[in-house]
Amino acid sequence: MPVPISVTFRDQITGRINDLLLDEGKPCAESQNLLGYLAGSLVSYKDEGVEFAPSVLLCDDITEVLRAFPGSVYHQIGKAPLDSASGPKILKECVPLSGPNWFIFIERNRNRVNYGVFTYFRLPTAIPLHEGIGINPNQFCVLVRKISANTIEMRGAKGSELTLIFSTVRASANSTVPIQEFAAACCSGVQQPIKKDFGPYFLRLVEASLSSSHGTILICGDAIDFDGISEMQDAVPVTPMLDFQNAFSDFQTLSTADSILNLQRCEELLQGFLRCDGIVAFDTQARVTTYRIFFRPKEPARKVKVVGGARRRAFEAMKKLVGKNKPLKSALFRSQDGLTLQFGVKS
């Protein structure tokens, strides 16, 4: 009689992490278990009732890794055995110190680890941490970060990627292409030469803003007349419009502390808009024009195909407003679980 085989979710996670470490050329059972602990903990980590979403970098030499990041500084907080049992201690001591500009590192040293926090000079044009670790693929490091409410991403210096979805959603949470297409629509009216540098910046901005949201719908159009769209109600205009292109141009031209601060303030306000209920609208100059837009289809609910929650149903129903000679150029849906969809006019 064959012996029954049981496979747990933990087995699947650790197996996939082992594959990633093999691809990165550094298989290690202790590192595998520690990464597994981090993945499970970061999906919903709270300290003193406050929710955090830190990025954690596992590496062999933090000094060498940070050579790729100008103006980097790190502070070692403590030492511990290289074991998953050290995970709670590392997070407890480091998470309260983390934030948008500070990240946690765990440096392997034989059978022990040094851990602490680090930062680097983050100009608006600087590449984000998850891209920067690939600058030196010969220096082992794996970044663990939360990219949506229920999704953890692991990425290695050699380019290996692993996405762990802690939900019942079966669809892929890969958001790269939909976000690229939506960002391109928003930048379609931006003129060269600024578009060359502004386009990549705006794409990273949208990616980062969506990662910190709990689901949203974004739309893009040229001078959208909400008074003429009966399905879209309660729209709140942003006056003056949140003009990323102008703020970015000032930064490029002036490179002053004030210009950097102004661009950062725009970024923070965008994240605030995404935390509000309703839809956020951009124009083709990459400006936020309106927020708190609520979509109410003309058809009775029974005629709109149910494909998910209320937000997903609204996204599916508003597709009829997207296209040539229609009010919208593009629409982007992001679920709480990280599922990202885009519908728009092909450029």
User: Please, what CATH class does the domain formed by 9-165 belong to?
Assistant: alpha beta
Please identify which residue in the block is written with the tokens 């729209």. Answer: 235
* Mean pLDDT, range 212-226, rounded to an integer: 92
Q: What is the reported pTM?
A: 0.79
Which residues touch 321 (CB under 8 Å, ≥6 apart)? 229, 231, 327, 328, 331
In terms of pLDDT, which residue wins out, 225 or 336?
A: 225
Could you give the CA distance from residue 309 to residue 169 in angstroms, rounded to a whole number?
A: 12
User: Tokens standing for 161?
Assistant: 């990627």
Q: What is the pLDDT of residue 168?
A: 60
* Cβ(234)–Cβ(293) below 8 Å: yes
Backbone angles phi, psi at 291, to 5 degrees: -145, 180
Give the orientation angle of helix 194-211 with respect to helix 244-254, to 10 degrees.
Answer: 120
Q: Distances from the Cα of 256 to the Cαs of 33, 72, 263, in angstroms?
A: 45, 20, 11
- Distance from the Cα of residue 57 to its chain's centroid: 16
List helix spans (H) across 24-128.
Answer: 29-42, 62-65, 87-94
Condensed to tens digits (0 to 9), the pLDDT of residues 153-187 reads 999 999 999 988 886 655 445 578 999 999 999 99
Let me know: does 220 contact 186? Beta carbons within 8 Å: yes
Q: Across the strands, what pairs with 165?
A: 151
The CATH class for the domain spanning 176-344 reads alpha beta
For residues 340 and 179, the answer to whether their CB atoms sit within 8 Å is: yes
Q: What would the pLDDT profile of 131-158 be if each residue is shown by its tens digit?
A: 999 999 999 999 999 988 788 999 999 9
Cα distances (Å, whole numbers) of residue 184 to 180, 243, 331 = 6, 16, 12
Distance of CA 159 to the CA centre of its chain: 17
Q: Where in the chain is the domain with CATH 3.40.1700.10?
A: 176-344
Cα separation, 283 vs 287, whole angstroms: 6
Query: In sequence order, which residues have a C-beta less than 8 Å from that of residue 30 and are 6 or more positions away?
Result: 82, 83, 84, 111
Token readout for 162 is 């692993």
Beta strands in the chain (DSSP E): 45-47, 50-52, 56-59, 73-81, 103-109, 112-119, 141-148, 151-156, 161-165, 216-220, 232-233, 236-243, 279-282, 287-295, 330-334, 340-344
pLDDT in tens, 268-310: 999 999 999 999 999 999 999 999 999 998 765 555 455 568 8
